[in-house]
Structure 1
Amino acid sequence: MAEKWEAKDKLKPKGLDGISDQQIEYHFETHYKGYVNKLNEIWEKLSTADRSKANQNYSEFRELKLEETFNFDGSLLHELYFDNLSKGQGQIPEDLRKHLEKDFGSYEKWVEDFKATGVAFRGWSLLVYDLNTGKLRNIGADVHNTNGIWNAIVLMALDVYEHAYYTDYGPKRAPYLDAFMKNVNWPAVSKRYEKAKKIYEIFK
């Protein structure tokens, strides 16, 4: 029986400041669920794919495996994105702020770098906990399944594909980045951070 990913409707945020419910509706129902549906379709096809015909230049198995990572990461990153959006979720926790200050010089410099990453890349700006070094890093991705760092845990995900903001802002990405930062669900980010710290202590 093929594996199955269930879309998580409970993650859909509402009433955000500067990101409309209509924007979220399009993004969640069309794009996020589109990745989930295609991932399930790929898993179904992989369950019967002919592995004896696998080929590095072209084969059905190769194409399915390539698109598996694209749609898996697309599903996962969108779930992290929607989960770390919520109106009125307070300030960044002090321990996380201190870690950012240590690695970036100040909280403000981290925000500047995080936003700049969101401008420089076509798909994602991601705050990650690097388990190799214990550092917090901002990394960018042009596509869901590229540009990542092995052994890094995503703490905060910012979708910068046009579909994330065109309904509200057209081609203007900067005001969307500002709106995102006003709606960060810091308790959700902090929960990921605390888990990552525990894993790092085991991993190092």
Structure 2
Amino acid sequence: MITRREILKSAMLTAAGIAAGAYTPRLARAADPAPAAAPAPAGPFLLPPLPYAYDALEPHIDAKTMQIHHDKHHAAYVANLNKAVADHPDLASKSVEELLKDLSAVPESIRTAVRNNGGGHANHTMFWETLKVGGPAAPSGALGDAIKAKFGSYENFQAAFTKEALGVFGSGWAWLSNGPDGLILEHLPNQDTPLSSGRTPLLGLDVWEHAYYLKYQNKRPDYVAAFYNIIDWSAVGARFDKSKTV
């Protein structure tokens, strides 16, 4: 006959074995693998590689945000744009800029998809190319002169650009663009771009929450202030020079 003491002893041994079994695999578990690279989208539009390491913009933009922003969000825009034009070979042969400059020529059934995802692709491609640590602290050359003529000083430009960035309700971008009437500051919703209004985007700041929330949470003003530390004004100036010849 099994005694009460033997029953209690058996129960204690079983419980210890279960605990050990649950704990040992946790100790032996391998480290989480590194995030996989973004898959190559199927279609005419391609995700450009990030032109620097994920942590290249630290401490202003953190590495995790850069990885998710490029490999997930930008990749999704490219994939969805390819999906939208899959049955339209005439559109697939055009550049994304050509599509966005003439949205009225895009079939109405896919126009919103091209506007949103094409805009997301074009905007982010330019955004990556605009960011750099250790670049010029302020615009110079023809762009510097144009900014001073338009805003009075670089500091006045910063204040006006910040106002646009903080004025976005929800998701969108702040833009400096060049057009027939010269330099224009504005903010646009979602992934809309000055290209669709006949202007050349020179400088854009993504203020969707996915662009800054991991590091700055709800402190968008801090993110906007940090942005001025990583603008590659040489790249922005080159866009301005090119826009005058188009």
TM-score normalised by the chain length of structure 1: 0.83
Secondary structure at 2:204 match in 1: strand
Q: Which of the residues 115, 119, 124 maps onto 2:173?
A: 124
Say yes or no: does 1:184 pair with 2:231.
Answer: yes
Deviation at 1:150, TM superposition (A): 2.0
Q: How does 1:1-204 map to 2 (within 5 A)?
A: 4-11=44-51, 14-16=55-57, 17-47=59-89, 62-91=108-137, 92-121=139-168, 122-130=171-179, 132-133=180-181, 135-145=182-192, 150-199=197-246
> Structure 2: which 5+ runs fail to align?
1-41, 90-106
Q: In the aligned structure 2, how far is the partner of 1:93 from the partner of 1:3?
A: 39
Deviation at 1:148, TM superposition (A): 6.6
- Give runs of ≥4 in structure 1 deviating > 6 Å: 146-149
Q: Contact 1:12–1:28 at 8 Å: present in 2 too?
A: no
Q: Deviations over 1:179-202 (max 9, x none)?
A: 111000111111101101222xxx
Q: In the aligned structure 1, how far is the partner of 2:194 from the partner of 2:235?
A: 24
Q: In the aligned structure 2, how far is the partner of 1:22 from the partner of 1:103?
A: 37
Secondary structure at 2:176 match in 1: strand
Q: In the aligned structure 1, how far is the partner of 2:203 from the partner of 2:176?
A: 5
Q: In the aligned structure 2, how far is the partner of 1:73 from the partner of 1:159?
A: 12
Structure-2 change in CA distance of 1:74 and 1:142 (3 Å): same
Q: Deviations over 1:110-146 (max 9, x none)?
A: 111111100101310011011x22x111111112137
| Residue-pair matches, total | 184
Q: Deviations over 1:134-174 (max 9, x none)?
A: x1111111121377762210001100010100011111101
AA aligned to 1:7 is L
Q: Contact 2:51–2:129 at 8 Å: present in 1 too?
A: yes
Question: In angstroms, what is the RMSD of aligned CA positions?
Answer: 2.1
Secondary structure at 2:205 match in 1: strand
Higher mean C-alpha displacement, 115-124 vs 89-98:
89-98
Secondary structure at 1:44 match in 2: coil
Q: In the aligned structure 1, how far is the partner of 2:143 from the partner of 2:192?
A: 27
